C-alpha cells in the first residue's frame, strides 16, 4: 500500500538508476564452497594417513642417523698439563706454555671418506647480539669498503688504520689446530668446500686482504695470513657464519680417506683457544655424514613417535566411535543448556 | 499565477481557533539589541554596506571530519591515540637508535603501511561525506537577484538578507523569516518531520504587513530590517522585531521557517534569510554522533593490554637475566666472555654499568617482542569491516523494491555487534507500522460495518489456527486485492456491501449513516485537490487518519470537493431522489484538534439553515460529552469500540448536535473575544469557551482505522524471539494503541499476564485537578513504586513455572520509574518480563530507557526507529538502526545502519550479525594466535642468546610476517567465512545465542587460542633447534648456522599458522584456497627472490634457499614434521569436540553434512532440545496453546 506514498518518487527514481544491488554469487555470499567437517571417517583417515607416512620416514631417518659414525673427543680439560690444572687460565693465556697436546682416538667402525672434522664449542655465545652485529659485511665483500667499520666496534681500527676483517667475530677466530695420523702416517686435512659456495663467491672478496689483523692491544683468536685474500680463508668464512646456539660445531676440514675400524688416530692439537675462562668446552669431532646429515636420532624418533601416536589415536577414535556413539543432534552440552537448566532467563 | 488562484482567496486564519495567534510585543522583545540578541538582518539588501559590516557566514554546511589542511595532523593523531599504534610508533622511533635488534627500515615500513592504509580509508570516508555535502550545498533555490527578478542559485550561495522563494514540497535551505505565501493571509503548512519527528503539519503565518508580497515583482523595492536573537539551538523559540515602513513589528517562532523542514500544502512562500549554514537551528542542534565501538573491540583492547603485560613481563625477566649475565662478564678486570670484549663496550653491553644495560635491553626487548602485538590487527579489522559492510549493502534480500532502497551500513565498526544483540528497542510508528492509515471498519448507530480483516485479526487467526490463516499464508493479500476487481485505494480498505455503492439508503438506520459520513466529509481540515484532467479528487491532510476519513466519505458517496474560506461543498447521494446533489455547508468555526482536547469540532450552517456542531474525538473525552438521553446505542457502540481496539485499530467517536441561533451567537461572541485576546492565557480562555459548546452531543457511531503493520513484522519478531532476543516497544502512542500493536506483533498474547503501570488512577487525577505540583509528584512516585513492587512480587511468585509476563508502562509513570532511585527496580521488573511496552514516551524518555537497559544489563542493545524522535534512542543504543523507508532522513542520518523495512532486521541480525560476529571474533583470536606463535619463538630464541636481543630471523622476514605471509588468510576469513549458510541461520535461529552469550569470544576461547599459540611456538622452536643441533646439517657435513635455523623455523611457522587456519575454518571457497596456499607459496617465492638479491640487501638470506635449504632432505623432513606435530593437538581437540561436545553451529553443520537437514523431525528435535522456552512470538503462542491442551488431557486422566 505504501508504494503510493512515493508514487511521484517512484516515477522519478525509475528514470534514475535503480539502486538495486546486482546479483552475483560473490556479493550474495553464495560462492560455491567446500565445507569439510571432521566426521569420524575423516578423522580416522587422517590419523591413519599420517601414521602410514610418518613411520617409514621415521625408520629411514633413524636408520640414516644410526649409520653415521661419530667420534667426539673432549680435549680441553685433558690437554692442560697437570701442573696447571688449578690454574688453567694462566696456562692458556701464557705464550710460553706448550700448547701442543696429543690425543688418541680409536675408530669404532669403518668411516668412509670423507670424514668430517669439527670443533665443537660449548657455552660460546656466538649468537650474542653484540657479537653477531660486530662485523662489516661490506668490508668483507670488497676492497673499496675497507673503511666501512662503523658496525665493528670495538675492533674497528688500530693506529695503522682500519682492521680488515674488522669486528669481534673475525677477531675471536678459533685458533686450535689439529693434525691427524694413523699408524704414524700423516692424514691430509682438506679445507676444500668446507664453506657454503656463496661465501667465497659473493660474501668474501677476492681482493680483500687481511690488514692490521690481530695487531691491537688485545689478541683475540687466530691470525690470518695477510697475503691470502679473504675469499680463500676457509676457516674465517666458516667461523663468520655465526652459530645458532651457544653449543655449536664448525667444520674444520675433511679427511679424504677411509678410516678402518679399530684404527687408532693420533691427533696433535695446538690448544690455543681460551674457553676456560667462560667455562666452555672444546671437543674434536670426527664424523661421517649421510643424506640426513650428521648423527641425530631426534628426527627419526620424533617421526616414529608421532606416527605411532597417530595410529594409536586412530584406533582410540575408532573404538570411541564404536562404543560410545553420541546421538546426532544432542544439544545437551550447549552452553545455554548447561548454564540455565530451567532455561528461564527472562 | 500557478494553479492556486482559487485557494488564494482562503483565509484560514479566520476559521482556525488556536494556531493563528497574533504575535505581540512581549518582555523578551525589549532585550533586542542587547547581548544574545544582537543579530541584524537587512532583508533584500544582502549586498549593502551594513550587511557587509556584519559579515555573517555563508550557507555552506560542512559535515566532514577533516579539511585538506587538517587531514594529516588530525588523522595521524587519531591513529596514534590507539595504544597499540602508539607503541609501534615508539618502537619504530627507537628502531633508529642502536638499541634496535633489527634495522630501522624493516621496523618502520609495516607501521607506515598499516597507518597509511587506515588513513587512506579515513580519507575515502571523509571524501564521501564531502560528496554528500556538495550535493546538499548545491541544491537549487529561487533567490531574488534584484529588480524583482528571481533566479535559481545553489544553497551555499545564500547570504543573510536574501529573499528566496520556496515552492511546494521543497525543503527550506536556511532558517527563513516567512514574509508571504500563496495564501492571502500569508499562512503556510510546514512538515517538521526531519526536526522533531512529528508527522502532523505545522501552520506558520507571516506578519500581516508583509502578506501583500505575493509576486516576484513586488520585491523590487522591498526592504526591512530584522533585529533578532543570536543563533541558538532552541527549535521552538525565536525573538525578534522587524522594522518595516518605519514601524516596529514583533516576530515570534510563528514566522520562522526552519532549515530541513518542508513546505506542504502551500504553493509557494517568500522568505528572508535570517540564519545561514552553521547558524541555523537544525545545524546548531546537531550533535556530533557519538563514536561507538563494539564490545568485541573493547574486549580486544583488553586482550592487547593483557598481551602488553605478558610482553613487559617477558622483557623484564629477560632484562634481569641479561643484566646479571652482562655484569658477570667482567669480574675484577677479568673478562669472562672475552670474545664480547666487555671491557670496551658501549653502555648497552657495558658490564660496568650493567643495570643501565639491562634497562636498555628492556627497550630492545620491547621492540623484539613487539610481534606479540599484531601490528596489522587494527588495519586488517578495518579492512574486513568495510568489506563486510559492502556485503550488507549489497544484500539483495535487504533491498526494498518499492522505495528503491538497499540496506546501508553507515558505520562499519559495529558489524559484529549486530551478532550480539540482546535487547531490541523498537519504535512503533513507521517502524513496526507503516504510518499509513486505512479506514477499515465503522459502527453506526450500534451496527458494525466493515468486513476487512486486519493484520491483528490475521495474526490472531493464525494463533487459533482458523482457516483464515491458511488463506492468508497462501497469499491472502493478493487474493483480497484481486477479488475487489478494483485497484486498492490508499487509505481505504473497507468492504461491506450493505453500505457501499449507495446501498446504505436501504439500511434501517440510513439517516444515521448519512449523518455519520457527512460528518466525516465536513469535520476536518483537509484541502481537496482536483486533478483537472481526470476530475479525480485527492486530499491534503494534516495527518494520515484524517485523509483516511475524507477518502472513506468520498468512497461511500459523500464527496468533499471544494473548500472556500467559509464553505465546504460536498457531492452526496440524496436518499430520497437517489441522485447526486451538491450541498454546500457554510463553515462557521473550526475548533481544532490538539493533544489536550483530543477532539475536533466544526460548526456549520447547513443549506436548510440549521446550525450543526459536528464533533469527532477519542472515546474517553467524547463519552463524557454525550447528551444523557442522546445515545440509545451507546452500549453497542462501546462494545464495538472494544472489539476494534482488540483488533489493533485506532478508534474515534463521532457525535453531533444542533445549535440554536442564540446559543451560537453567544458562543461566537465569546469565541471571537477569546481569539482576539492577547493575554498569555489566550488558549485556556478559548478552551473554556469551546468546552461550553461541545456538550450534550448525540452519538453517531465510531470509526476504526488500521495502523498498518509493515510487511512481515510478526514473522520477523517471531524469528527474533526464537533467537532469544528480547524486544521492547517504545512508542509515543497511547496505551491502547500500543497494546493493540503488541497483540498484532505477537509481543502480547492471551494468557500472558500484563503488568500495567500507569498513573491514570482516580486518586492521581483528583490530585492533578487540585494542581499542587509537589503533592502530585510524591503521590505519583509512590504509586509507581508501589506498582513496580507489586509487579515484582507477582513475578517472583510465579518464578517456578515460567509464566510469561508483559510489562506495560505509560510515559508519566516512566518519568518516575526512570528516576535514579527507582530505575533499578524498574529494570529488574522489566527484565523479568517477556515483553515490555512503554507508551506515551517522549524522545528523551526513549533515550533514557535505552541507556538504562544498556548500562543496567550490560548487554548489547539495538534501537530501531524511523523518525527524528528516535534519534536520541538510536544514538544512545549500542547500535542504532534507522528505517529509511519514509522521507524523513533524520533517523537515518544518526543511525549506524539503515534498512528499508523492519523485517530486514531478521536478516541483518541472524545472518549478517551472526556471520560478522563470528568472523571478527575468530579473526581476532586467530590474529593473536599467529602472533604469539611467531613472537614466542623469538622469545625462546632470545633466551638462548643470554637474552642479548638477537632476533631469530632475518630483519625482513620479521617485518613481512604480519604483512604478507600470515594476514591474507585471516582477512579472507574475516570477510568470507560462514559457519552455516543463511538458510540454516534462519532455520535454527537459536544459533544467534552464540553471539549474545559471547561464546566465540569468551576469555576461555581467547586464552585457549593464546595457549595454542604458545604451544605451537614451543613445538616449533624445540623441534627446529633440536633437529638442527650441532651435528651436520647436510650430507656435505656443513652445520646449520643462524641463517639456516631462522629460515627453517620461519618456514615451519608459516606452514603451521596457515594450516591452522585451514583446520579452523569450515568454509573453503576459491578465495580461501588461494589465500591460504598462496601465503605459503608466497613465502617460498619471497625466499627465492630475496635470496637472489645481492648479499648487501639480503644479508643472511642470500641464496639460503637454493644453496642450503632446498637440496637438503633434513630441511624438508623438518618442515613436514613440525607443522604436523604442531597441529596434531588442535586437530585431536577439535575432532573430540566435534563429536562429543559440539557447539551449536557444529551440530547444524553436521546435520547439513549428513543431509538430514530436511528431516523435519530431526530438525525439530535439534531446535527444540536446544531451545529455551520461548515467551514471545507466535511460535510461543502455539506452544502455549499446545501446553494448555496437554494439561487439560492430564487433568482429565
Q: Is B919 helix (H, G, I), strand (E, B) or coil?
A: helix
| Per-residue DSSP letter, B28 | G
Please determine, for residue B236, whether its predicted confidence score (pLDDT) is greater than 80: no
Residue to mutate among B339, B884, B1135, with most A CBs inside 10 A, is B339
- Does B733 belong to an annotated binding site? yes
Q: Which residues of B touch A114 (CB under 8 A)?
A: 1037
Determine contact, residues A244/B1041, Cβ cutoff 8 Å.
Answer: yes
Q: Taking residues B49-60, report their average pLDDT.
A: 80
| Closest by Cβ to B1107, choosing from A198, A247, A295 | A198
- Does B628 belong to an annotated binding site? no
- Does B650 belong to an annotated binding site? yes
CB pair distance less than 8 Å for B1153 and A39: yes
What distance in Å separates residue B1164's CA from the closest CA in chain A?
10
| Closest by Cβ to A28, choosing from B340, B395, B1044 | B395
d(CA B1064, CA B211): 75
What distance in Å separates residue B1189's CA from the closest CA in chain A?
22
Q: Taking residues B283-311, report their average pLDDT.
A: 82
pLDDT in tens, B990-1042: 889 888 888 889 999 999 999 999 999 999 999 999 998 888 888 888 998 89
Mean pLDDT of chain B: 82
Q: Which three cell numbers stand for residue B86?
A: 602508539
Confidence label for A285 from pLDDT (cuts 50, 70 and 90): very high
d(CA A314, CA A49): 10
pLDDT in tens, B951-992: 889 888 888 888 888 888 999 999 999 888 888 888 888 889
| Closest by Cβ to A198, choosing from B1026, B1032, B1103 | B1103
Q: Which helix (H) or strand (E) holds B164?
A: strand B163-167
The secondary structure of B181-240 as a DSSP string is ESSTT-EEEEE-HHHH---S-EEEE--GGGTT--SGGGGTT--EEEEEPPP-S-TT---E
pLDDT, residue B471, reads 41
Q: How many CB atoms lie within 10 A of CB A88?
A: 18
| Closest by Cβ to A344, choosing from B802, B1043, B1094 | B802
pLDDT, residue B767, reads 73
Q: Residue A34: closest CA among chain B residues belongs to which residue?
A: B1068
Q: Which residues of A touch B403 (CB under 8 A)?
A: 6, 9
- Does B846 belong to an annotated binding site? yes
Q: Is A112 helix (H, G, I), strand (E, B) or coil?
A: coil
Residue to mutate among A20, A69, A171, A346, with most B CBs inside 10 A, is A346
Q: Is B1018 helix (H, G, I), strand (E, B) or coil?
A: helix
CB pair distance less than 8 Å for A21 and B395: yes
Determine contact, residues A193/A251, Cβ cutoff 8 Å.
Answer: no
CB pair distance less than 8 Å for A277 and B1154: no
Confidence label for B148 from pLDDT (cuts 50, 70 and 90): confident
| Closest by Cβ to A21, choosing from B345, B396, B438 | B396
| Closest by Cβ to A346, choosing from B438, B832, B948 | B832
pLDDT, residue A16, reads 56
| Closest by Cβ to B948, choosing from A34, A37, A130 | A130
Q: Is A118 helix (H, G, I), strand (E, B) or coil?
A: strand
pLDDT, residue B27, reads 63
- Tell me the domains of chain B and their CATH numbers: 55-59+158-285 (2.70.150.10), 60-141 (no CATH), 291-373 (no CATH), 408-432+717-899 (3.40.50.1000), 433-462+488-660+696-707 (3.40.1110.10), 911-1157 (no CATH)
Residue to mutate among B953, B1039, B1064, B1070, with most A CBs inside 10 A, is B1039
CB pair distance less than 8 Å for B1173 and A344: yes
Q: Taking residues B25-54, report their average pLDDT.
A: 77
Q: Residue B1161: closest CA among chain A residues belongs to which residue?
A: A329
Q: Among A138-142, A219-223, B843-847, B1050-1054, which range has the highest average pLDDT?
A: B1050-1054
pLDDT, residue B487, reads 61
Determine contact, residues B1132/A313, Cβ cutoff 8 Å.
Answer: yes
Q: Which residues, in sequence order, are bridge partners of residue B874?
A: none
Q: Which three cell numbers stand for residue B784?
A: 509507581
CB pair distance less than 8 Å for B349 and A130: yes
- The domains of chain A are located at 39-68+291-322, 69-288
pLDDT, residue B1087, reads 93
- Does B701 belong to an annotated binding site? no
- Does B660 belong to an annotated binding site? no
Q: Residue B805: closest CA among chain A residues belongs to which residue?
A: A346
Residue to mutate among B345, B908, B1037, with most A CBs inside 10 A, is B1037
Q: Which residues of B form the catalytic set?
A: 427
Q: Which residue has the higher pLDDT, B1036 or B525?
A: B1036
What distance in Å separates residue A228's CA from the closest CA in chain B?
22
Q: Among the listed ranges A49-53, B464-468, B588-592, B885-889, which one has the minimum average pLDDT value?
A: B464-468
What distance in Å separates residue A252's CA from the closest CA in chain B?
10
Alpha helices in B1065-1177 (DSSP H): 1070-1092, 1095-1098, 1113-1140, 1144-1154, 1160-1169
Q: Residue B802: closest CA among chain A residues belongs to which residue?
A: A344
pLDDT in tens, B575-604: 777 778 888 888 888 887 766 677 888 888
Q: Among A55-64, A315-324, A334-343, B101-110, which range has the highest average pLDDT?
A: A55-64
Residue identified by cell 486485492 is B481
pLDDT, residue A333, reads 56
Determine contact, residues A172/B341, Cβ cutoff 8 Å.
Answer: no
CB pair distance less than 8 Å for A328 and B982: no
Q: Which residues of B touch A196 (CB under 8 A)?
A: 1038, 1107-1108
Distances from the Cα of A301 to the Cα of A61, A63, A67, B168, B806, angstroms: 9, 10, 15, 88, 68
Q: Residue B544: closest CA among chain A residues belongs to which residue?
A: A5
Provide φ and ψ at B342, rounded to 5°: -65, -15
The contacts of residue B803 (CB under 8 Å, 6+ apart) are B753
CB pair distance less than 8 Å for A345 and B708: no
What distance in Å separates residue B926's CA from the closest CA in chain A?
19
Residue to mutate among B423, B454, B547, B1038, with most A CBs inside 10 A, is B1038
Q: Answer whether the bond into residue B360 is a cis peptide, omega within 30°.
A: no
The secondary structure of B861-903 as a DSSP string is EEEEE-SGGGHHHHHHSSEEEEE-SSS--HHHHT-SEEESSTT
- Does B682 belong to an annotated binding site? no
CB pair distance less than 8 Å for B1096 and A27: no
What distance in Å separates residue B435's CA from the closest CA in chain A?
9
Cβ-based contacts under 8 A for chains A and B: 334
- Does B260 belong to an annotated binding site? no
pTM: 0.82
What is the share, in percent, of chain B residues with pLDDT greater than 70? 87
SS (H, E, C) B1106-1117: HHHHCCCHHHHH
What is the share, in percent, of chain B residues with pLDDT greater than 90? 18
pLDDT, residue B1175, reads 59
pLDDT, residue A346, reads 29
Q: Which three cell numbers stand for residue B216?
A: 516576484
d(CA A305, CA A313): 12
- As separate numbers, helices (DSSP H) first and strands (DSSP E) second, chain A gives 10, 11
Q: Which residue has the higher pLDDT, B29 or B123?
A: B123
CB pair distance less than 8 Å for A220 and B101: no
| Closest by Cβ to B948, choosing from A129, A299, A329 | A129
CB pair distance less than 8 Å for B1153 and A37: yes
CB pair distance less than 8 Å for B402 and A317: no
pLDDT in tens, B645-684: 767 677 888 888 888 888 888 888 888 888 777 666 667 7
Amino acid at each position: 500500500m505504501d508504494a503510493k506514498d512515493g508514487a511521484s518518487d517512484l516515477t522519478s527514481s525509475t528514470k534514475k538508476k535503480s539502486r538495486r544491488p546486482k546479483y552475483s554469487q560473490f556479493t550474495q555470499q553464495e560462492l560455491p564452497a567446500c565445507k569439510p567437517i571432521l566426521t569420524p571417517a575423516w578423522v580416522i583417515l587422517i590419523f591413519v594417513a599420517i601414521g602410514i607416512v610418518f613411520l617409514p620416514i621415521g625408520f629411514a631417518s633413524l636408520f640414516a642417523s644410526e649409520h653415521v659414525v661419530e667420534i667426539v673427543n673432549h680435549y680441553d680439560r685433558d690437554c692442560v698439563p697437570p701442573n696447571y690444572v688449578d690454574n688453567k687460565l694462566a696456562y692458556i693465556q701464557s705464550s710460553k706454555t706448550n700448547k701442543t697436546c696429543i690425543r688418541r682416538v680409536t675408530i669404532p667402525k669403518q668411516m668412509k671418506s670423507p670424514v668430517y672434522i669439527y670443533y665443537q664449542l660449548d657455552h660460546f655465545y656466538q649468537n650474542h647480539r653484540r657479537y653477531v652485529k660486530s662485523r662489516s659485511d661490506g668490508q668483507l665483500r670488497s676492497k673499496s669498503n675497507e673503511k666501512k667499520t662503523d658496525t665493528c666496534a670495538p675492533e674497528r681500527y688500530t693506529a695503522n688504520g682500519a682492521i680488515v676483517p674488522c669486528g669481534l667475530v673475525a677477531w675471536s677466530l678459533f685458533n686450535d689446530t689439529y693434525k691427524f695420523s694413523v699408524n704414524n702416517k700423516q692424514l691430509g686435512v682438506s679445507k676444500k668446500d668446507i664453506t657454503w659456495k656463496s661465501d667465497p663467491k659473493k660474501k668474501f672478496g677476492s681482493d680483500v686482504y687481511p690488514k692490521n689483523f690481530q695487531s691491537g692491544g688485545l689478541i683475540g683468536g687466530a691470525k690470518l695470513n695477510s697475503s691470502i685474500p679473504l675469499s680463500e680463508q676457509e676457516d674465517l668464512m666458516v667461523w663468520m657464519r655465526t652459530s645458532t646456539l651457544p653449543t655449536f660445531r664448525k667444520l674444520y676440514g675433511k679427511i679424504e680417506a677411509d678410516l678402518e675400524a679399530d684404527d687408532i688416530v693420533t691427533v696433535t692439537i695446538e690448544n690455543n683457544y681460551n674457553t676456560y675462562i667462560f667455562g666452555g668446552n672444546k671437543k674434536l669431532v670426527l664424523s661421517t655424514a649421510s643424506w640426513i646429515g650428521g648423527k641425530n636420532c631426534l628426527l627419526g624418533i620424533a617421526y616414529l613417535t608421532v606416527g605411532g601416536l597417530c595410529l594409536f589415536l586412530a584406533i582410540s577414535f575408532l573404538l570411541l566411535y564404536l562404543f560410545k556413539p553420541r546421538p546426532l543432534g544432542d544439544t545437551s552440552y550447549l552452553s545455554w543448556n548447561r548454564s540455565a537448566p530451567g532455561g528461564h532467563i527472562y | 499565477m500557478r494553479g492556486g488562484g482559487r485557494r488564494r482567496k482562503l483565509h484560514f486564519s479566520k476559521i482556525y481557533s488556536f494556531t493563528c495567534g497574533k504575535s505581540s510585543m512581549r518582555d523578551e522583545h525589549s532585550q533586542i539589541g542587547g547581548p544574545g540578541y544582537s543579530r541584524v538582518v537587512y532583508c533584500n539588501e544582502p549586498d549593502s554596506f551594513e550587511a557587509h559590516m556584519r559579515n555573517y557566514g555563508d550557507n555552506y554546511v560542512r559535515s566532514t571530519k577533516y579539511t585538506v589542511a587538517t587531514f594529516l595532523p588530525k588523522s595521524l593523531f587519531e591513529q596514534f591515540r590507539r595504544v597499540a599504534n602508539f607503541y609501534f610508533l615508539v618502537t619504530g622511533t627507537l628502531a633508529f637508535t642502536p638499541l634496535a635488534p633489527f634495522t630501522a627500515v624493516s621496523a618502520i615500513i609495516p607501521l607506515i603501511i598499516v597507518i597509511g592504509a587506515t588513513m587512506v580509508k579515513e580519507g575515502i570516508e571523509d571524501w564521501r561525506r564531502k560528496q554528500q555535502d556538495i550535493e546538499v550545498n548545491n541544491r537549487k533555490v529561487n533567490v531574488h537577484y534584484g529588480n524583482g527578478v528571481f533566479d535559481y542559485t545553489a544553497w551555499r550561495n545564500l547570504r543573510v538578507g536574501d529573499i528566496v522563494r520556496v515552492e511546494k514540497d521543497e525543503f527550506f535551505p536556511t532558517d527563513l523569516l516567512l514574509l508571504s505565501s500563496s495564501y492571502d493571509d500569508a499562512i503556510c503548512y510546514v512538515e517538521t518531520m526531519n526536526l522533531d519527528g512529528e508527522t502532523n503539519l505545522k501552520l506558520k503565518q507571516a506578519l500581516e504587513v508583509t502578506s501583500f508580497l505575493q509576486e516576484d515583482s513586488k520585491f523590487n523595492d522591498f526592504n526591512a530590517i530584522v533585529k533578532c536573537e543570536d543563533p541558538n539551538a532552541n527549535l521552538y523559540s525565536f525573538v525578534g522585531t522587524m522594522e518595516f515602513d518605519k514601524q516596529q513589528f514583533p516576530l515570534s517562532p510563528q514566522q520562522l521557517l526552519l532549515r530541513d523542514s518542508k513546505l506542504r500544502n502551500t504553493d509557494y512562500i517568500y522568505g528572508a534569510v535570517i540564519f545561514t549554514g552553521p547558524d541555523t537551528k537544525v545545524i546548531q542542534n546537531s550533535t556530533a554522533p557519538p563514536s561507538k565501538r563494539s564490545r568485541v573491540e573493547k574486549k580486544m583492547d583488553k586482550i592487547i593490554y593483557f598481551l602488553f603485560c605478558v610482553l613487559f613481563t617477558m622483557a623484564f625477566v629477560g632484562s634481569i637475566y641479561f643484566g646479571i649475565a652482562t655484569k658477570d662478564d667482567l669480574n675484577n678486570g677479568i673478562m669472562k666472555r672475552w670474545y664480547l670484549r666487555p671491557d670496551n663496550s658501549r653502555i648497552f653491553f657495558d658490564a660496568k654499568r650493567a643495570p643501565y644495560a639491562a634497562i636498555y635491553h628492556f627497550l630492545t626487548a620491547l621492540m623484539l617482542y613487539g610481534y606479540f602485538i599484531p601490528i596489522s590487527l587494527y588495519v586488517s579489522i578495518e579492512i574486513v569491516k568495510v568489506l563486510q559492510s559492502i556485503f550488507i549493502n549489497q544484500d539483495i534480500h535487504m533491498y526494498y523494491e518499492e522505495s528503491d532502497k538497499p540496506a546501508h551500513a553507515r558505520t562499519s565498526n559495529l558489524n559484529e555487534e549486530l551478532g550480539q544483540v540482546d535487547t531490541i528497542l523498537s519504535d512503533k510508528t513507521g517502524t513496526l507500522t507503516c504510518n499509513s492509515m486505512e479506514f477499515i471498519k465503522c459502527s453506526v448507530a450500534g451496527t458494525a460495518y466493515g468486513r476487512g480483516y486486519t493484520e491483528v485479526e490475521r495474526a490472531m487467526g493464525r494463533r487459533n489456527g482458523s482457516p483464515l490463516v491458511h488463506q492468508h499464508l497462501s497469499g491472502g493479500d493478493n487474493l483480497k486485492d484481486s477479488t475487489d476487481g478494483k485497484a486498492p485505494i490508499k487509505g481505504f480498505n473497507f468492504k461491506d456491501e450493505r453500505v457501499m455503492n449507495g446501498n446504505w439508503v436501504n439500511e434501517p438506520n440510513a439517516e444515521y449513516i448519512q449523518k455519520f459520513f457527512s460528518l466525516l466529509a465536513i469535520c476536518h481540515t483537509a484541502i481537496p485537490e482536483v486533478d483537472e484532467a481526470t476530475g479525480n479528487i485527492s486530499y491534503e491532510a494534516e495527518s494520515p487518519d484524517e485523509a483516511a476519513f475524507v477518502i472513506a466519505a468520498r468512497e461511500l458517496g459523500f464527496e468533499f470537493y471544494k473548500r472556500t474560506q467559509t464553505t465546504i461543498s460536498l457531492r452526496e447521494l440524496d436518499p430520497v431522489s437517489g441522485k447526486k446533489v451538491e450541498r454546500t455547508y457554510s463553515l462557521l468555526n473550526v475548533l481544532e484538534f490538539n493533544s489536550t482536547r483530543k477532539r475536533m469540532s466544526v460548526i456549520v450552517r447547513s443549506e436548510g439553515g440549521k446550525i450543526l456542531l459536528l464533533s469527532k474525538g477519542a472515546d474517553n473525552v467524547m463519552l463524557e460529552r454525550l447528551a444523557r438521553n442522546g445515545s440509545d446505542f451507546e452500549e453497542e457502540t462501546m462494545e464495538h469500540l472494544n472489539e476494534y481496539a482488540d483488533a489493533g485499530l485506532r478508534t474515534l467517536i463521532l457525535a453531533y448536535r444542533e445549535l440554536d441561533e442564540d446559543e451560537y451567537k453567544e458562543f461566537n461572541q465569546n469565541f471571537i473575544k477569546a481569539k482576539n485576546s492577547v493575554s498569555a492565557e489566550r488558549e485556556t480562555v478559548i478552551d473554556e469557551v469551546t468546552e461550553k459548546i461541545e456538550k450534550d452531543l448525540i452519538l453517531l457511531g465510531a470509526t476504526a482505522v488500521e495502523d498498518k503493520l509493515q510487511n512481515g513484522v510478526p514473522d520477523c519478531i517471531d524469528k527474533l524471539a526464537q533467537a532469544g532476543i528480547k524486544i521492547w516497544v517504545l512508542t509515543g502512542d497511547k496505551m491502547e494503541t500500543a497494546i493493540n500493536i503488541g497483540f498484532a506483533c505477537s509481543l502480547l498474547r492471551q494468557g500472558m499476564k500484563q503488568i500495567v503501570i500507569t498513573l491514570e488512577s482516580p486518586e492521581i487525577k483528583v490530585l492533578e485537578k487540585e494542581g499542587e505540583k509537589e503533592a502530585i509528584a510524591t503521590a505519583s512516585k509512590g504509586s509507581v513504586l508501589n506498582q513496580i513492587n507489586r509487579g515484582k512480587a507477582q513475578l517472583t511468585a510465579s518464578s517456578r513455572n515460567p509464566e510469561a509476563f508483559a510489562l506495560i508502562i505509560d510515559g508519566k509513570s516512566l518519568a518516575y520509574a526512570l528516576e535514579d532511585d527507582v530505575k533499578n527496580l524498574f529494570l529488574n521488573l522489566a527484565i523479568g518480563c517477556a515483553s515490555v511496552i512503554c507508551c506515551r514516551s517522549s524522545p528523551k524518555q526513549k533515550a533514557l530507557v535505552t541507556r538504562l537497559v544498556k548500562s543496567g544489563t550490560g548487554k548489547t542493545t539495538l534501537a530501531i526507529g524511523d523518525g527524528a524522535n528516535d534519534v536520541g534512542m538510536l544514538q544512545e543504543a549500542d547500535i542504532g538502526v534507522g528505517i529509511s523507508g519514509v522521507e524523513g532522513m533524520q533517523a537515518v542520518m544518526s543511525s549506524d545502519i539503515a534498512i528499508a523495512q523492519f523485517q530486514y532486521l531478521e536478516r541483518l541480525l541472524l545472518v549478517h550479525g551472526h556471520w560478522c560476529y563470528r568472523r571478527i571474533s575468530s579473526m581476532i583470536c586467530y590474529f593473536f594466535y599467529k602472533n604469539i606463535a611467531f613472537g614466542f619463538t623469538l622469545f625462546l630464541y632470545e633466551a638462548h642468546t643470554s637474552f642479548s636481543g638477537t632476533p631469530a630471523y632475518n630483519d625482513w622476514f620479521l617485518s613481512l610476517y604480519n604483512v604478507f605471509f600470515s594476514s591474507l588468510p585471516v582477512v579472507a576469513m574475516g570477510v568470507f567465512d560462514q559457519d552455516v549458510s543463511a538458510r540454516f541461520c534462519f532455520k535454527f535461529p537459536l544459533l544467534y545465542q552464540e553471539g549474545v552469550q559471547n561464546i566465540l569470544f569468551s576469555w576461555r576461547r581467547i586464552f585457549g587460542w593464546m595457549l595454542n599459540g604458545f604451544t605451537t611456538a614451543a613445538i616449533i622452536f624445540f623441534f627446529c633447534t633440536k633437529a638442527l643441533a650441532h651435528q651436520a646439517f647436510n650430507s656435505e657435513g656443513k652445520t646449520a648456522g643462524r641463517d639456516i635455523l631462522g629460515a627453517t623455523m620461519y618456514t615451519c611457522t608459516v606452514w603451521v599458522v596457515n594450516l591452522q587456519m585451514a583446520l579452523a575454518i569450515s568454509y573453503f571457497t576459491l578465495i580461501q584456497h588461494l589465500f591460504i596456499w598462496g601465503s605459503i607459496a608466497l613465502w617460498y617465492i619471497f625466499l627465492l627472490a630475496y635470496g637472489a638479491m645481492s648479499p648487501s640487501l639480503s644479508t643472511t638470506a642470500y641464496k639460503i634457499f637454493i644453496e642450503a635449504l632446498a637440496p637438503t632432505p633434513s630441511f624438508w623432513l623438518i618442515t613436514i614434521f613440525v607443522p604436523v606435530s604442531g597441529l596434531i593437538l588442535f586437530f585431536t581437540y577439535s575432532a573430540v569436540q566435534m563429536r562429543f561436545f559440539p557447539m551449536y553451529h557444529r551440530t547444524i553443520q553436521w546435520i547439513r553434512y549428513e543431509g538430514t537437514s530436511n528431516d523435519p523431525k530431526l530438525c525439530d528435535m535439534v531446535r527444540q532440545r536446544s531451545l529455551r522456552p520461548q515467551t514471545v512470538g507466535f511460535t510461543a503462542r502455539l506452544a502455549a496453546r499446545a501446553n494448555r491442551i496437554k494439561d487439560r488431557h492430564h487433568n482429565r486422566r
